[in-house]
């Protein structure tokens, strides 16, 4: 999950790191296969087995911390977006369709999508119309 923030330039490619190792399920399957096919006359060394169990515990803890951090970042982005209600913001040209440069207006609504992303509705100071679905990363300046 990518979380936008004010002043962060988002790219079209995913910046989310991919899992480099194996998953929890794959680790358990590997451990069970190892136990199933080990030589009964030469069982796995206790220190190796304990080390593998410690790796499994560390994997679980890291996954829990990662999930909690993702939730925390999503909540923080939502709070940041709500804090912009009624404020004057400048939005990058990417959010305005790419032509005509940036736009300045007042944040009139905040929407939280089903994926947890915050999107702004900005009413431009000059001209007509409303800018919908503005990401926090598209906001380049905030003023009163």
pTM flag (> 0.95): no
Q: Which residue has the tokens 């190796």?
A: 48
Helix (H) or strand (E) holding 60, with range, is: helix 46-83
Query: Which DSSP state fits 49?
Result: H
pLDDT tens digits, one per residue of 118-142: 889 988 887 678 888 888 888 888 8
Instruction: Evaluate whether 88 touches 105 at the Cβ level (below 8 Å).
Output: yes
pLDDT tens digits, one per residue of 40-86: 787 777 888 788 888 888 888 998 899 899 889 888 888 989 999 99
d(CA 101, CA 110) in angstroms, rounded, equals 23
Give per-residue burial for 100-112: e unless 16+ CB within 10 Å, then b.
eeebebebeebee
């Amino acid at each position: 999950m990518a979380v936008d923030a004010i002043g962060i330039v988002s790219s079209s490619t995913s910046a989310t790191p991919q899992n480099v190792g194996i998953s929890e399920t794959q680790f358990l399957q590997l451990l069970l296969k190892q136990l199933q096919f080990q030589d009964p006359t030469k069982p796995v060394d206790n220190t190796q087995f304990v080390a593998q169990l410690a790796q499994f515990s560390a994997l679980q803890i890291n996954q829990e911390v990662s999930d909690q951090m993702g939730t925390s970042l999503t909540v923080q982005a939502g709070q940041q977006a709500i804090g912009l209600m009624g404020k004057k913001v400048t939005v990058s040209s990417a959010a305005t369709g790419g032509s005509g440069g940036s736009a300045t207006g007042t944040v009139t609504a905040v929407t939280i999508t089903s994926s947890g992303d915050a999107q702004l509705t900005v009413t431009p100071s000059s001209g007509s119309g409303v800018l919908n679905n503005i990401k926090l990363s598209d906001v380049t300046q905030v003023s009163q």
